């Protein structure tokens, strides 16, 4: 038996934010990031719609990108004090992910962060509040997924919280919110989305339901991401749907080691002055992981199917895999994303010398490799790497060399 879980309602299309008017309840907490939702006027609109629906509202603002355990605990305290019956999380993946974790702590105040990280081990929620997610970036799809990523800065590790309990009740996928994204954010979140769809399609937990969503998302992202990056707002709107479909696929089919590696490298060099932004990490690692996974016969065939749907040509599965890798690398070029960590600048753009020095990378490599193997996303990858293989793979991601093992 397999399970396929999504939010009960997904409202989509321009202007769908207005659906907030129809929520039923008394008290809503609104969780946002650092100010983009205020600047775009979306926060005011949400507050007005909720007021019209008779809600008393309370704002939790300033949730940082890559939210910390501390931010989660502080937000949960505000919820415990205010006692909302709805949690409205609005913005990029960060405030929505943080709000999901706050929700767990709000419903179970004795739950520790360690408890939350037990994969598919969250107790039953919705005894105190329901959850509505409204994404403003086109990538994480956390509005429809069973996941939340929280960073433990003491350890320099991003932990996925995974359980269908935290799949939101309502998602509002209004492309108006994504239209204010700057170029770099559009690029990174878009490559996150295509990584979700490709990893879901080759995951060992794939099924007919997730395949359909993953393939359609891949086709849509192929058609729209670069144009969206270059300012075509029609394509930007379509990307908002595409990333959501990819999310529906991976929330149920799970992911693979591109994500394991992105989670475990993302904050590992924070002391060098930057993070490897999640979407950019995925974009750099995805072609390498495809080369690695393609040694598995089933995965190779599935990459071939993806290449066929993308109309990339090729007469054999080997050729199709090569063409897929080439295509994704070209997308990175078009989106101004580097190919290797050694060329990843502090600002996330290609640089002659990246912000992660070679000696620091090599010093931390064994620990990062072990952590990546232990990541919750590794189990569903089509090929299970040994620690040695994971180290070699990460080296290919650092130096941008082909994977031939």
**Residue length of the chain:** 405
Of the ranges 27-35, 307-315, 316-324, 394-402, which one interacts with ligand ATR (CB under 6 A)? Answer: 27-35
Strands 86-91 and 130-135: parallel
Task: Return the axis-axis angle of helices 317-334 and 183-202, rounded to nearest 10°.
Answer: 160
Q: Does 178 bind ligand ATR (CB under 6 A)?
A: yes
Q: How many residues bind ligand ATR (CB under 6 A)?
A: 21
At residue 170, φ and ψ (nearest 5 deg) are -135, 135
Q: Does 35 bind ligand ATR (CB under 6 A)?
A: yes
* CB 227, min distance to ligand ATR, A: 18
Number of other CB atoms surrounding residue 4 within 10 Å:
14
* CB 301, min distance to ligand ATR, A: 32
* CB 183, min distance to ligand ATR, A: 11
* Rounded-to-integer distance, Cα 183 and Cα 191, Å: 12
Q: Does 93 bind ligand ATR (CB under 6 A)?
A: yes
- Contact string (CB under 6 A) for ligand ATR, positions 297-336, x = contact: ----------------------------------------
CA distances from 45 to 51, 91, 169, 170, 278 (A): 10, 13, 21, 18, 29
Q: Does 140 bind ligand ATR (CB under 6 A)?
A: yes
Q: Which residue is nearest to ligand ATR (CB)?
A: 92
Q: 111 and 69 in contact (C-beta within 8 Å)?
A: no
* Rounded-to-integer distance, Cα 168 and Cα 177, Å: 18
* CB 42, min distance to ligand ATR, A: 8
Indicate the burial class of 27 (C-beta count within 10 angstroms; 0-12, 13-18, 19 or more). Answer: middle
Of the ranges 52-60, 88-96, 287-295, 338-346, which one interacts with ligand ATR (CB under 6 A)? Answer: 88-96
Q: What is the CA radius of gyration of the chain?
A: 20
Of the ranges 68-76, 79-87, 131-139, 157-165, which one interacts with ligand ATR (CB under 6 A)? Answer: 131-139
With CB under 6 A as the contact rule, the residue among 181, 245, 246, 331 that binds ligand ATR is 181
With CB under 6 A as the contact rule, the residue among 75, 139, 168, 175 that binds ligand ATR is 139
Strands 130-135 and 170-173: parallel
Q: Does 92 bind ligand ATR (CB under 6 A)?
A: yes
Of the ranges 87-95, 196-204, 328-336, 370-378, which one interacts with ligand ATR (CB under 6 A)? Answer: 87-95
With CB under 6 A as the contact rule, the residue among 65, 78, 80, 111 that binds ligand ATR is 65
* CB 177, min distance to ligand ATR, A: 5
| Positive/negative CA dihedral, 206, 208, 213, 216 | positive
The 3-class secondary structure across 356-402, one letter per residue, is CCHHHHHHHHHHHHHHHHHCCCCCCCCCCCCHHHHHHHHHHHHHCCC
With CB under 6 A as the contact rule, the residue among 148, 167, 186, 189 that binds ligand ATR is 189
Q: Does 137 bind ligand ATR (CB under 6 A)?
A: yes
* CB 97, min distance to ligand ATR, A: 7
The 3-class secondary structure across 29-87, one letter per residue, is EEECCCCHHHHCCHHHHHHHHHHHCCCEEEEECCCCCCCEHHHHHHHHHHHHHHCCCEE
With CB under 6 A as the contact rule, the residue among 33, 156, 256, 340 that binds ligand ATR is 33
Please list, in sequence order, all residues whose beta carbon lies within 8 angstroms of the beta carbon of residue 316, skipping any fewer than 6 positions away.
Answer: none
With CB under 6 A as the contact rule, the residue among 34, 345, 350, 366 that binds ligand ATR is 34
Of the ranges 52-60, 179-187, 304-312, 372-380, which one interacts with ligand ATR (CB under 6 A)? Answer: 179-187
Number of other CB atoms surrounding residue 193 within 10 Å:
31
* Rounded-to-integer distance, Cα 12 and Cα 150, Å: 27
Interacting residues with ligand ATR (CB under 6 A): 33-37, 65, 91-95, 136-137, 139-140, 177-178, 180-181, 185, 189
């Amino acid at each position: 038996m397999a399970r396929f879980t999504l939010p009960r309602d997904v409202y989509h299309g321009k202007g769908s934010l207005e659906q907030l008017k129809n929520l039923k309840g008394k008290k809503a907490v609104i969780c946002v990031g650092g100010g983009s939702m205020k600047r775009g006027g979306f926060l005011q609109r949400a507050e007005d719609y909720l007021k019209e629906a008779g809600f008393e509202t309370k704002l939790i603002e300033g949730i940082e990108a890559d939210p910390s355990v501390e931010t989660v605990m502080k937000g949960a305290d505000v919820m415990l004090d205010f006692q909302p019956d709805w949690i409205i999380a609005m913005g990029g993946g960060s405030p929505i992910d943080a709000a999901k974790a706050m929700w767990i702590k709000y419903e179970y105040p004795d739950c520790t962060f360690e408890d939350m990280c037990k994969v598919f081990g969250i107790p039953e929620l919705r005894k105190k509040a329901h959850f509505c997610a409204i994404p403003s970036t086109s990538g994480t799809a956390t509005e429809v997924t069973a996941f939340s990523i929280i960073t433990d800065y003491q350890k320099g590790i991003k932990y996925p919280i995974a359980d269908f309990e935290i799949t939101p009740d309502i998602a509002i996928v209004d492309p108006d919110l994504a239209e204010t994204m700057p170029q770099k954010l559009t690029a990174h979140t878009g490559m996150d989305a295509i990584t979700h769809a490709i990893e879901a399609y080759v995951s060992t937990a794939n099924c007919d339901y997730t395949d359909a969503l993953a393939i359609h998302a891949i086709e849509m992202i192929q058609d729209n991401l670069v144009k969206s990056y270059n300012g075509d707002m029609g394509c930007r709107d379509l990307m908002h749907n595409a990333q959501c479909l990819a999310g529906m696929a991976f929330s149920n089919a799970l992911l693979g080691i591109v994500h394991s590696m992105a989670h475990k490298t993302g904050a590992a060099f924070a002391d060098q002055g930057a993070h490897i932004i999640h979407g950019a990490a995925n974009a750099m690692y995805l072609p390498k992981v495809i080369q690695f996974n393609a040694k598995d016969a089933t995965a190779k065939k599935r990459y071939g199917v993806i290449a066929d749907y993308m109309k990339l040509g090729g007469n054999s599965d080997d050729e199709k895999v090569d063409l897929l890798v080439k295509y994704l690398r070209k997308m990175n070029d078009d989106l101004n994303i580097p190919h290797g960590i050694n060329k990843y600048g502090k600002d996330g753009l290609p640089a002659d010398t990246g912000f992660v020095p070679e000696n620091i990378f090599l010093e931390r490599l064994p620990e990062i490799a072990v952590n990546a193997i232990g990541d919750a996303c590794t189990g569903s990858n089509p090929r299970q790497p040994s620690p040695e293989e994971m180290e070699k793979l990460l080296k290919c991601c650092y130096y941008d060399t082909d994977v031939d093992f």
